[in-house]
Amino acid sequence: MKPTRASLLLPLVMVVLAACGGDHPMSTFIAHSDLTREINAIYSRIFWWTALLFLLVQGGLIYVVLRFRAKGTETANPEQVHGNIRLELTWTILPIFILMHIAIPTVSLIFKSQAQTTEENAVLVNALGKQWWFAFEYPELGVTTANEMHVPLGTEIEVRLQSDNVIHSFWVPQLMAKRDMVPGRVNHIKFKAEKLGEFYGQCAEYCGDSHALMKFRVVVDTPEDFAKWIASQKAPAETEAATAQAGFQAFQGAGCVACHAINGTTAAAVIGPDLTHVGSRTMIASGILENNEENLKKWIKDPPGVKPGSKMPNLNLSDEQVASLAAYLQTLK
């Protein structure tokens, strides 16, 4: 049997439909915060109104084309018309209403999403865009971390977006809109997460070599788990004294102290991510490598090999040095 033309479309339809289902971590159509829910509500309202308009305009067009087409029986030119006040007013005023219908909710949501928080228990986070990773500071809670931002469920979170280098854009599709991190100014974004779990984020403004590898995660915890996380991040890393000393010596010897901080030690530099609790993160190098001994070794051995242009240089360390550093960092839970 020869396939009909319609049946040839079947694979295409399947591919298109496959794109609609499933768990797509970077899909903006899946909303898990008050902010993304409101954005999607505006989006779908605009979509359905424009769909209706499309049908009306195309329907009118098709009707006119069919109804008034030349039939070959005309004896004279059709009546020539110049201007029609009523029609012209209609198609000027109607679009004004339509555009207002789009603009008012959009602009007011933009303002609402960047207003500073007024809620008592809100959590403030300073998010700093770096090349090519993110630092997160909780100024009121005394915690600094990197690439994994923990937030409590159902609580207002105000993120203050900053950069001291180039422009980045902070984007967690399921939790918040894209918003730029611009050197010299502070942008705000406010949201309440509505689902527990891990959400993917990504820098959305080209910022140099490893822009595409500049990822991060937002971990939504229950308020109890969040309090526990904060407490554990504030405490010094639980490392056995002997391991800690030998490990830190290796860390110092290899020059890592020039760029990294580990609370409770003399390392206090802020060029690279804070490593006080690096062992507690699920990923390293801004969400591109799972945090395990193998990957830590790979990273320390040759960062630019993992992440082109990395601001952490290849320090030409021996395999023994790399191994002891990776083992030490793993203990910093």
Binding mask 221-260 for ligand HEC (x = CB under 6 A): ---------------------------------xxx-xxx
The answer to whether the CB of 204 falls within 8 A of the CB of 173 is: no
Task: Please give the Cα distance from 193 to 36 (Å, whole number).
Answer: 9
When asked if residue 215 is in the footprint of ligand HEC (CB under 6 A), the reply is no
Taking every pair of C-alpha atoms in the chain, what is the biggest distance, in angstroms?
105
Which of ligand HEC, Cu ion, none has residue 230 at its interface (CB below 5 to 8 Å by kind)? none
Closest CB to ligand HEC among residues 159, 296: 296
Is residue 135 at the binding interface for ligand HEC, with CB under 6 A as the rule? no
Question: Kindly report the CA angle at 165 between 162 and 171, in degrees rounded to 5?
Answer: 45
Binding-site partner at residue 39 among Cu ion, ligand HEC, none, CB < 5 to 8 Å by type = none
Other CB atoms closer than 10 Å to residue 327's CB: what's the count?
16
3-state secondary structure string across 235-276: CCCCCCHHHHHHHHHHHHHCCHHHCCECCCCCCECCCCCCCC
Query: Does 312 interact with ligand HEC (rule: CB under 6 A)?
Result: yes
- Tell me, rounded to whole angstroms, the distance of Cα 110 from its chain centroid: 17
* Of 177, 244, 325, 332, the one binding ligand HEC by CB under 6 A: 325
- Among 15-23, 120-128, 168-176, 293-301, the segment contacting ligand HEC (CB under 6 A): 293-301
> Residue 281, interface with ligand HEC (CB under 6 A)?
yes
Closest distance between ligand HEC and the C-beta of residue 56, in Å?
52
Interface residues with Cu ion (CB under 5 A)? 168, 203, 207, 211, 214
**By CB under 6 A, is residue 132 in contact with ligand HEC?**
yes
| Contacted entry of Cu ion, ligand HEC, none for residue 313, CB cut-off 5 to 8 Å set by kind | ligand HEC
Distance in angstroms (rounded) separating the CA atoms of residues 154 and 159: 15
Closest CB to Cu ion among residues 129, 279:
129
How far apart, in whole angstroms, are the C-alpha atoms of residue 243 and residue 321? 14
Is residue 272 within the footprint of ligand HEC (CB under 6 A)?
yes
Does residue 133 touch ligand HEC according to CB under 6 A? yes
- How near is the Cβ of 313 to Cu ion at its closest, in Å? 20
Total site size for ligand HEC, rule CB under 6 A: 32
Could you tell me the smallest distance in angstroms from the CB atom of residue 134 to ligand HEC? 9
Min dist CB 222 to Cu ion, Å, is: 31
125 binds, among Cu ion, ligand HEC, none (CB under 5 to 8 A by kind): none
Q: Which residues bind ligand HEC (CB under 6 A)?
A: 132-133, 146-147, 210, 254-256, 258-260, 271-273, 275, 278, 281, 284-286, 296, 299-300, 307, 310-313, 315, 317, 325, 329
